[in-house]
Amino acid sequence: MDSSPVQFLKDVASKNSSDAPLVCYAATMLSSNGMLQNENPLDYTFPLFLFQLIIILLTSRLTAFILKPLRQPRYISEILGGFILGPTLMGRVPAFALTFFPLRSLLVIDSMASIGLVFFMFIVGVEIDPDVVRRVGRRSTLLTFVCLIGPVLIGVLAGIMLHSRIQDGTQRGAFVTFLCGILCVSSFSMLARTLADIKLIASDIGRLVLSSAMITNGLAWVLMVFSTALAQSKGKALSAIWTVISGGVFSIVVYMAVRRAARWVQKRTPEGEEVAELHVCVILVGVMVAAFAADAIGTHAIFGAFVYGLAVPNGPLGELLIEKIGDFIEGLLLPLFFAVSGFRTNLYSIVDAGAVFLLLIVVIGAAITKVAGSVLAAFYMEMPFHDGISLGLLMNTKGIVELILLNIGWDKMVLRDQTFTILVIISVISTTLITPLINVAAKPSRRYVAYKRRTIRWWNPESELRMLICAHSSREVPSLISLLDISHPTKRSPFFVYALYLVELTGRASTLFVVNTNSSSSSSLEPHRGAPNAGAGFIRHQSESEHISHAFESYEQHAGGVSVQSLTAFSQYPSMHEDVIALSEDKHCALIILPFHKHQTIDGTMEVTHPAIRCLNKNVLAGASCSVGILIDRSLAGTGARAQRYAVALLFFGGADDREALAYADRLATHPGVALTVVRFLPCIGAGGSRRRQDRVVDVAGENDDECLAQFQANGGGEAEYVERMVGNAEETVAMLREMEGRYDLYIVGIGEGMSSPLTAGLTEWSECEELGPIGDLLASPDFGSRASVLVLQRGKYREGSEEIEMSGGAVVLPMPAGSGK
């Protein structure tokens, strides 16, 4: 069956009389009888839609793959895929357009895209916490005002002057109002994703800009409703005002009714269990009811779905709803909306080159006023100029919300084809350019307190030692607490411990709106909107977080000299190390403790917990400016409990990392429940040169291992047993370590990064985990057969050439930004 011929007629049934295509459909041609019956499946509605969906998804995914090195948001690849399939490119080929995207099929695609858009806006509403708007402070209000006044003024002036040239035949008041909304809007979902990518979502800047974006989004929706109402009522302001009032009443009724019903559902759901399937079904049906009601009163269906989503309260209910429909909507139906947008965007509809230039000037001018206003607001709030630029760029973040508004304007005849196409292209170009600018300008450039020597060795023994202890599950906590306990915190030499629970963050937009909670006495995981792994996953993470927090809190109450603060970090594994490093610098930690990527099973073998944890550990070792330790746990908590005394061996080969390990062992030496043995390995004469010469080769920094050991004994390490072992090569080193097997519960050793020694030469060639160093890898290897836990340490690195201020006690810090806390 060929594509239906197109006729144009005057639509007299609608108040908006315009030329519209008339398409004829064969009502019974839904599915084909198959090619074996000499029928073409593409002549039938349903198989044609399936084939179109395949083409759209493949095109968008291929575009995303090509643009991946440019780190562009998914929005760009989706809309470019629509451009490719639309009349700008492939749609210009008659055979392609008539075969795969005939006019009779576009109504089906448009309808399915609208359904996807309705549920997507419901998800966006669920992710936004409306209570945040009520808590908006003076700073957010100021930023919102200065970011609105410029675009609104430009929109009014430009809309009045440009209407007769580029929008002839449309209602001027509607166009002016709509243009103001487009210039004001900031895409909340894309902004949150961007802030999460650059690790600013939990910062003051992140909270400030998100709060402001919520308000600007709300204003943009109000302007959209008013402008479309003006267009539908032929410019009658009173009718448009009544539509806006109806939308406001609708929002209040829906918000109050749905919120009360949702809380009733939450109360009837037993703690620790998922919401009943019936309740979920009723809520999802309610989305369509709200969309229908909003469309009936003259606003828009997606506005009703958005308000309905806002009414869903915080907690597992919202997370479960996102988990149920999020991937299906965003992965399958939302690309249809981008395809429809591409079909409507036709470069060949641009007949006035001057219109492109004028609209480009308007958009650029509005963006500049946002940046300028943000800089002024930052100056008033006593924030750095750099932060003002960052705020302005972030407030210029556009995305799918802007595209949705543009499509509504096209649907309601507020925008003509040429204006719609120009604004869509400008939106894509601006988003493409603004994303790398934000990554450069807004990404935190180490504006943290950075100790020149944030190491255990250079830390004042009588000052508070700050440690960041990371855990991926509650299984790792007992041994981490045991390690903390034998580190011997006292009131004279106290510890401040940040217990960080690391949770993998999924890639959906709904999982990005998570802010770490740093409550010092309670679980760090709260039911934030958009927390990852909703439903059962959310409950599992909440339970894990509570177990970890309670374990450290219990230790804090029973131990002296320890303060604990529990936190939860949601992050993707490839960037999780950035969160760990940033937190360690922000909290001025001297030591990070990371669990090994393998855990001990019941039969004593080591099993990989998650392959990505190893990459995380390697990245932290490479990027941290403080000291880093990796704990290979072989029931450290259990061995100490059985013996009532830990047997610990420090293996000292020389070098900066071993000196750091010695400094850590110094804190264990005075613990009454620790029997420490320092085993120093020395090269024999003739095996690696003289002992003094070997010291000079290893000691690039000019520090002497003998002096460090003497200082260790003078500081109280005399209670530890000191043993020297003379070995000639790596084979003798391994043999000596095998002789020690079974005597100790814990080995402490430096990684030995950059150190060259004949005592370990050749061991790295057989390393399975080179990040542990040659000795650490040997002790962790299953072939070695050790049953003792191992702590490998790397001395902290510090950056050269930075501005430094000398402080008492030998600490060197960078200037700390105002408002930074512990």
Asked, for residue 12, whether it belongs to a domain, the answer is no
Tokens of 376: 């002024």
Tokens of 217: 């989004």
Q: Tell whether 803 and 765 lie within a shared domain.
A: no
Q: Give the other-Cβ count within 10 Å of 411's Cβ.
A: 14
Q: Tell whether 531 and 652 lie within a shared domain.
A: no
| pTM to 2 decimal places | 0.70
530 close to 511: Cβ distance less than 8 angstroms: yes
pLDDT digits (tens, 9 = 90+) for 442-500: 655 444 444 445 788 777 767 788 999 999 998 999 999 999 999 888 888 889 999 99
Q: Tell whether 227 and 269 lie within a shared domain.
A: yes
pLDDT digits (tens, 9 = 90+) for 346-402: 998 898 888 899 999 999 999 999 999 999 999 998 888 888 998 999 999 888 889
pLDDT band at 121 (very low <50, low <70, confident <90, very high): very high
Burial 721-745 (b: 16+ CB within 10 A, else e): ebeebebebbebbbebbeebeeebb
Q: What are phi and psi of 276, to 5 degrees?
A: -60, 145
pLDDT digits (tens, 9 = 90+) for 703-713: 577 888 888 87
In 698-752, the DSSP E strands lie at 721-727, 746-750
Q: What is the largest CA-CA distance in the chain?
A: 104
Question: Taking 60 as the threshold, does the pLDDT of residue 520 lie above it?
Answer: no
Pairing of strands 627-632, 789-794: antiparallel
Q: Give the other-Cβ count within 10 Å of 391's Cβ.
A: 27
The single residue listed with the structure tokens 């760990």 is 580
Report the candidate in 822, 801, 799, 817 with the shortest Cα–Cα distance to residue 453. Answer: 799
pLDDT band at 335 (very low <50, low <70, confident <90, very high): very high
- Bridge partners of 502, per DSSP, are 569
H or E segment at 369?
A: helix 353-380
Report the candidate in 556, 502, 588, 495 with the shortest Cα–Cα distance to residue 822. Answer: 588
Tokens of 755: 């150190």
Higher-scoring residue by pLDDT: 570, 132: 570
Question: Taking 60 as the threshold, does the pLDDT of residue 124 lie above it?
Answer: yes
Looking at residue 22, its pLDDT comes to 64
Report the candidate in 737, 751, 590, 759 with the shortest Cα–Cα distance to residue 658. Answer: 751
Give the C-alpha separation, 657 to 621, whole Å.
Answer: 12
Q: Which of 37-51, 499-513, 670-684, 806-820 has the lowest mean pLDDT?
A: 806-820
Number of structural domains found in the chain: 3
Give the C-alpha separation, 251 to 257, whole Å.
Answer: 10
Asked, for residue 238, whether it belongs to a domain, the answer is yes
Give the C-alpha separation, 63 to 75, whole Å.
Answer: 11
Tokens of 609: 């917990």
Give the C-alpha separation, 634 to 745, whole Å.
Answer: 9
Asked, for residue 447, whether it belongs to a domain, the answer is no
Looking at residue 697, its pLDDT comes to 41
pLDDT band at 27 (very low <50, low <70, confident <90, very high): low
Looking at residue 420, its pLDDT comes to 93
Over residues 572-581, mean pLDDT? 85
Domain of residue 695 covers 643-793
307 close to 255: Cβ distance less than 8 angstroms: yes
Report the candidate in 668, 312, 615 with the shortest Cα–Cα distance to residue 487. Answer: 668
Q: Which of 130-139, 174-183, 568-577, 725-734 has the lowest mean pLDDT?
A: 130-139
Give the C-alpha separation, 224 to 291, whole Å.
Answer: 16
Higher-scoring residue by pLDDT: 247, 234: 247
Q: Tell whether 236 and 166 lie within a shared domain.
A: yes
Q: Tell whether 540 and 659 lie within a shared domain.
A: no
Residue 802 burial (10 A CB sphere; 0-12, 13-18, 19+): exposed
Percentage helix, strand, coil for the chain under 3-state DSSP, each rounded to 5: 60, 10, 30
User: What percent of the chain has pLDDT above 90?
Assistant: 31
- Bridge partners of 471, per DSSP, are 501
Question: Taking 70 as the threshold, does the pLDDT of residue 59 lie above it?
Answer: yes
Report the candidate in 436, 394, 402 with the shortest Cα–Cα distance to residue 191. Answer: 394
Q: For residue 324, give Cα distances in angstroms to 40, 678, 709, 801.
A: 36, 57, 60, 52
Tokens of 477: 């906590």
Among 383, 410, 441, which residue terminates a domain? 441
Looking at residue 593, its pLDDT comes to 96
pLDDT digits (tens, 9 = 90+) for 751-801: 987 566 777 776 777 778 889 988 988 898 887 777 899 999 999 875 444
Q: Tell whether 601 and 617 lie within a shared domain.
A: yes
* Residues sharing a CB contact under 8 Å with residue 39, sequence separation 6 or more, in sequence order: 32, 33
Q: Tell whether 654 and 621 lie within a shared domain.
A: no
Give the C-alpha separation, 669 to 661, whole Å.
Answer: 12
Q: Tell whether 328 and 260 lie within a shared domain.
A: yes
Q: Tell whether 458 and 387 lie within a shared domain.
A: no
Q: What is the CATH number of the domain that holds 233?
A: 1.20.1530.20
Higher-scoring residue by pLDDT: 16, 397: 397
* Residues sharing a CB contact under 8 Å with residue 67, sequence separation 6 or more, in sequence order: 76, 77, 80
Q: Tell whether 783 and 802 lie within a shared domain.
A: no
> How many Cα neighbours within 13 Å face the side chain of 545?
27
pLDDT digits (tens, 9 = 90+) for 621-648: 998 989 999 999 988 877 655 556 889 9
Asked, for residue 29, whether it belongs to a domain, the answer is no
Question: Taking 50 as the threshold, does the pLDDT of residue 11 lie above it?
Answer: no
Q: Dihedral angle at the C-alpha atoms of 223, 227, 232, 236, nearest 10 degrees?
A: 100
Tokens of 138: 């003076």
Tokens of 41: 């499946």
Q: Tell whether 606 and 679 lie within a shared domain.
A: no
pLDDT digits (tens, 9 = 90+) for 307-323: 999 898 866 788 788 88
Asked, for residue 24, whether it belongs to a domain, the answer is no
Q: What are phi and psi of 768, to 5 degrees?
A: -90, -35
Asked, for residue 33, whether it belongs to a domain, the answer is no
Q: Tell whether 673 and 590 lie within a shared domain.
A: no
Asked, for residue 20, whether it belongs to a domain, the answer is no
653 close to 681: Cβ distance less than 8 angstroms: yes
Asked, for residue 23, whether it belongs to a domain, the answer is no
Q: What is the CATH number of the domain that holds 676?
A: 3.40.50.620
Q: For residue 461, give Cα distances in angstroms to 81, 227, 455, 465.
A: 61, 67, 11, 8
Question: Taking 50 as the threshold, does the pLDDT of residue 172 lie above it?
Answer: yes
Terminal-to-terminal C-alpha distance of the chain: 71
Question: Taking 50 as the threshold, does the pLDDT of residue 533 lie above it?
Answer: no
Give the C-alpha separation, 300 to 171, whole Å.
Answer: 19
Q: For residue 152, give Cα distances in angstroms to 126, 178, 421.
A: 28, 10, 22
